[in-house]
Amino acid sequence: MKAVRMHQYGGPEVLSYDDDVPDPVVGPDTVLIGTIATSVNPIDWKVRSGARQKDFPLTLPAILGRDVSGVVLAVGDQVRTFKPGDHVIAMADTTYAERVAVPEAQVAHLPDGVDPVDAAAIPLVVLTGDQLVRGATRVTAGQTIIVSGALGSVGRAAVHTALKLGAKVIVGVRGRQVAEAESLGAHAVLALDDDDAIAQLDAVDGVADTVGGAVAAKLLGKVRPGGRFGYASVLPEGAAKDSVEISRVFAQPDAVTLRAFADDIADGSFVLPVSRRMPLSEAADAHALLEKGGGGKVVLTV
């Protein structure tokens, strides 16, 4: 099959579009998906560059990618939920490829009304955002939470989950994004580059941080004693607060939550913008584009 592989660590140029890659093996409990599209996430280029080699070691040559949207081609003899021809999505591994074998428990049916190409943008980001809120902040109805980077894909998912849980949500964005952030339906909008605005905030019950760096350190200081701070990026050196529970989120597969988000996209109650669609063969170009920042969500079509 054809797939994009990295044969060494380095810049986008180490990604090659190979046409002699062995097909994945279908085990008794796995679903073989013919890929319609995958997507590019920041973790992809961080792994490719070697920056996250400690967290995500690879055996080279390696296929990157964590998202897949496609059609079931075959199933293992123990699979009961899916059949050939089903449209599905999943958070998986090695998805920059024409075919991906995924454990049945990680796969969700794609509901009608969701574009199967744009659906490739869904899995990793929505599960990260959801788990930042449910798992890390454990916010409950009536509590107050700040979601930083709320206009990003992970941030949008975190806001959506927090609102569904009944929390009071403050969305944090750059000052120039305040007007756009009003569309998220949160209770308040905070300009993260306005130190006075942050200083004037009352203490909150939790923070779901997708930004990291100095912003994360400032928001950590606004969490009440006994509150929780969840992050998906990197905390600055020395950021600590003894009275606050701090946890980093590495998204885990969750087919039930994945389907719930897909249903919300289908009925229009959740929006996940896709800024660009590119062929899988141009994965290196997509990495180069997105590493510059501000490129939005990119899906790769197969």
| pLDDT for residue 240 is more than 90 | no
> For the residues 239-251, what does the mean pLDDT come to?
85
Spans of all domains in the chain? 3-122+272-301, 125-248
Q: How far apart, in whole angstroms, are the C-alpha atoms of residue 166 and residue 179?
A: 23
> For the residues 101-117, what does the mean pLDDT come to?
97
| pLDDT for residue 241 is more than 80 | no
Write the CA distances from 278 to 122, 129, 211, 228, 257, integer angstroms: 16, 25, 26, 39, 27
> For the residues 242-265, what does the mean pLDDT come to?
94
Q: How far apart, in whole angstroms, are the C-alpha atoms of residue 2 and residue 279?
A: 12
Asked whether the domain spanning 125-248 has the same topology as the one spanning 3-122+272-301, the reply is no
> For the residues 3-7, what does the mean pLDDT come to?
96
Exposure string of 64-76, with b = 16+ CB inside 10 Å and e = fewer, is: bbbbbbbbbbbbb
Q: Give the predicted TM-score (pTM) of the model.
A: 0.95
pLDDT digits (tens, 9 = 90+) for 201-234: 999 999 999 998 888 989 999 999 999 999 987 7
Q: Specify the pLDDT at position 56.
A: 81
Q: How far apart, in whole angstroms, are the C-alpha atoms of residue 144 and residue 203?
A: 9
pLDDT digits (tens, 9 = 90+) for 6-54: 999 999 999 999 999 999 999 999 999 999 999 999 999 899 988 887 7
Model confidence band, residue 293 (pLDDT cutoffs 50, 70, 90): confident
Q: Assess contact for 222 and 170: CB atoms under 8 A.
A: no
Report which of residues 237 and 141 the model is more confident about: 141
Query: Among 24-38, 76-90, 235-249, 275-289, whose mean pLDDT is lowest?
Result: 235-249
pLDDT digits (tens, 9 = 90+) for 138-191: 999 999 999 999 999 999 999 999 999 999 999 999 989 999 999 999 999 999
The pLDDT mean for the chain works out to 94
Q: Specify the pLDDT at position 236.
A: 62
Q: Assess contact for 79 and 29: CB atoms under 8 A.
A: yes
> For the residues 123-134, what does the mean pLDDT come to?
98
Architecture of domain 125-248: 3-Layer(aba) Sandwich (3.40)
Q: Specify the pLDDT at position 71.
A: 98
Domain 3-122+272-301 is classified in which CATH homologous superfamily? Answer: Medium-chain alcohol dehydrogenases, catalytic domain (3.90.180.10)
pLDDT digits (tens, 9 = 90+) for 78-101: 999 999 999 999 999 999 999 999
| pLDDT for residue 255 is more than 90 | yes
Model confidence band, residue 294 (pLDDT cutoffs 50, 70, 90): low
